[in-house]
Amino acid sequence: MYPKTNSAGRKTTRTLMAIGLIAALFSCTTQKEEGEATSNERPNIIFIMSDDHAYQAISAYSDKLIQTPNIDRIANEGMLFEKAFVSNSICAPSRAVILTGKHSHMNGLVDNAVKFDSTQMTFPKILRENGYQTAMIGKWHLKTAPTGFDYWKVLPGQGHYYNPEFRTENGTVLDSGYVTDLITDFAIDWLEGAKKEDKPFMLMYQHKAPHREWLPTEENFREYTTKEFPEPASLFDDYSGRGTAAKEAEMRIATHMGVTSDNKIHPDIAEKMRYENFLTWYPNAYHNNLDRMSKTERAAWEAVYGPINEEFEQADLRGEELTKWKYQRYMQDYLASIASVDENVGRLLDYLEENGLAENTIIVYTSDQGFYLGEHGWFDKRFMYEESFRTPLMIKWPGVIKEGSRNTDLVQNLDFAETFLDAAGVEIPKEMQGKSMLPLLKGEQVEWRDALYYHYYEYPGIHAVKRHNGVRTDRYKLIHFYYDVDEWELYDLEKDPHEMNNVYEDPAYAEVKAQMHQKLDELVDQYQDKVVVPSK
């Protein structure tokens, strides 16, 4: 027999059901902490990464060189990390660490020459399997095609600033425009589609700029070529008080930065002035870069760089004066390239706000590593010394991260994968080697790591930075240059923040030295780095 129902009975059942539903919803909202992800409202993730963007060139860190009001918005509305680092300060290896959450020796991509094994587990793959829409737009640099993305559009290799090619699943196309603007256009185009879907998204929006050889847009080179920048105290570092690695590296502004390729002096002028040594370094770069411009772009360029060429020829600079001139030219083009990144980050942030996407989106701004802006007389990266080991990092997540907060824990690019999976409520694979930053983002007091591990491999190779590994704690840093030399360096970062004075043999540091050796042994063990036996 079916129970008889009357209209009142039905009403009662409906009322009960409604009450039940409300109660269920209510318990859901009360159990859920503010901003915490539920299956329905998992956060979107936008990972913004530029290439070679030094923290010294972001005004949220330091306003000595440039104002970056848009990038600063992420810090002002979120959290700025004062002690964010990479684990291998070079492009492709850093990207592989970010994707896999594993150190270079575990993911296999130890240097820029190695191809990424794209069959391995990555966080975009895991997010995609768990219901995220995923895209990768901009600089990729991993040699094999991107995997784990619903959509990708990447620069082949390093890519070009002016009228670059882009590669998709369907082949390579030449686009007209400026690389930083184009990458942003493509990112916004993809978001236009993604926002209509009933699924969260994860977008990797990765700039080529400000990678060498720093070709800015007309608006920015007009402005920045009129500026003069403060020189770092160690522009004329003589590398005393350290081992041979710093001295032998080929990344000095004085002797390794090209007056043609980097400083944009016409090769004919350089030749006439007998700057031959600068011509041997990427002899074709000047033409390769500038010949890509349209007639109008080239005319605008010549209108500004033409007079710079003439003045340079007349001045006939040598020695320290030449180095000072090169430093200024370097900063003008490098920072002007960043100005475009900043404008475009602003464009993306505005788009998110205007489309109601800002509230439930985690926005990260970082770089694949730091960069030398004349410190130790250098450009480029690679070393475990602070300027390249450290990287900018700021994260915004409304409702979860306190606006304008600053964090001083030792975090690393190794931690991104686990952080994103954790934020999405997805299980973290055991094989990942980082730590989820989620508690730090929430401002919780948690036990965090007390030391970071580093390992750089690309030697022999461009810029001649010797292989090394090492450990950094809050105060000290121990580095072992282990290949074709056997040299140890120890720095007291509190007393010697610019790392000019190696105290490895200083008896006053005997105890610190022993502790740092022990830490290094522990980390080699913990991360299963069998490549070297660093302890003496």
The residues that touch ligand SGN, with contacts defined as CB under 6 A, are 51-52, 90-91, 112, 141, 158, 211-213, 261, 282, 285, 380, 462-463
Task: Output helix, strand, coil percentages for the chain, rounded to the nearest 5.
Answer: 35, 15, 50
Q: Which is nearer to Ca ion, 136 or 520 (CB)?
A: 136
Question: Which contiguous run of DSSP H or E holds residue 297?
Answer: helix 295-315
From ligand SGN, Ca ion, none, which one binds at residue 323 (CB under 5 to 8 Å depending on kind)?
none
Please, what is the minimum distance in Å from the beta carbon of residue 338 to ligand SGN? 15
**What is the spatial distance between Cα 71 and Cα 59, in angstroms, rounded to a whole number?**
8
Please, what is the minimum distance in Å from the beta carbon of residue 181 to ligand SGN? 20
Q: Which is nearer to ligand SGN, 75 or 155 (CB)?
A: 155
DSSP string covering 233-246:
TTTT---TTS-HHH
Please, what is the minimum distance in Å from the beta carbon of residue 91 to ligand SGN? 3
From Ca ion, ligand SGN, none, which one binds at residue 462 (CB under 5 to 8 Å depending on kind)?
ligand SGN
Please, what is the minimum distance in Å from the beta carbon of residue 367 to Ca ion? 7
Q: Which is nearer to Ca ion, 71 or 441 (CB)?
A: 71
How many contiguous H segments (helices) and E segments (strands) does the chain have? 17, 16
Question: Which contiguous run of DSSP H or E holds residue 395?
Answer: strand 393-396
Q: Which is nearer to Ca ion, 191 or 414 (CB)?
A: 414
Coil/strand/helix, residue 388: helix
From Ca ion, ligand SGN, none, which one binds at residue 304 (CB under 5 to 8 Å depending on kind)?
none
Q: Are strands 476-481 and 487-492 parallel, antiparallel or unpaired?
A: antiparallel
From ligand SGN, Ca ion, none, which one binds at residue 112 (CB under 5 to 8 Å depending on kind)?
ligand SGN
**What is the spatial distance between Cα 411 and Cα 393, in angstroms, rounded to a whole number?**
9
Q: Which is nearer to Ca ion, 266 or 376 (CB)?
A: 376
Q: Which is nearer to ligand SGN, 261 or 263 (CB)?
A: 261
**What is the spatial distance between Cα 117 and Cα 176, in angstroms, rounded to a whole number?**
32
**Cβ contacts of 370 within 8 Å, gap of 6 or more:** 54, 55, 86, 89, 381, 386, 387, 388, 389, 390, 391, 392
Q: Is 17 exposed, middle or buried (0-12, 13-18, 19+ CB in 10 A)?
A: exposed
From ligand SGN, Ca ion, none, which one binds at residue 160 (CB under 5 to 8 Å depending on kind)?
none
Q: Give the residues lining the site for Ca ion (CB under 5 A).
A: 51-52, 91, 368
Closest CA to 392 of 62, 158, 66: 62
Please, what is the minimum distance in Å from the beta carbon of residue 262 to ligand SGN? 7
State the CB neighbour count (10 A cutoff) for residue 418: 20
From ligand SGN, Ca ion, none, which one binds at residue 509 (CB under 5 to 8 Å depending on kind)?
none
Please, what is the minimum distance in Å from the beta carbon of residue 157 to ligand SGN? 9
Please, what is the minimum distance in Å from the beta carbon of residue 93 to ligand SGN? 8
Q: Which is nearer to Ca ion, 343 or 368 (CB)?
A: 368
From ligand SGN, Ca ion, none, which one binds at residue 212 (CB under 5 to 8 Å depending on kind)?
ligand SGN
- Residue with smallest beta-carbon separation from ligand SGN: 91
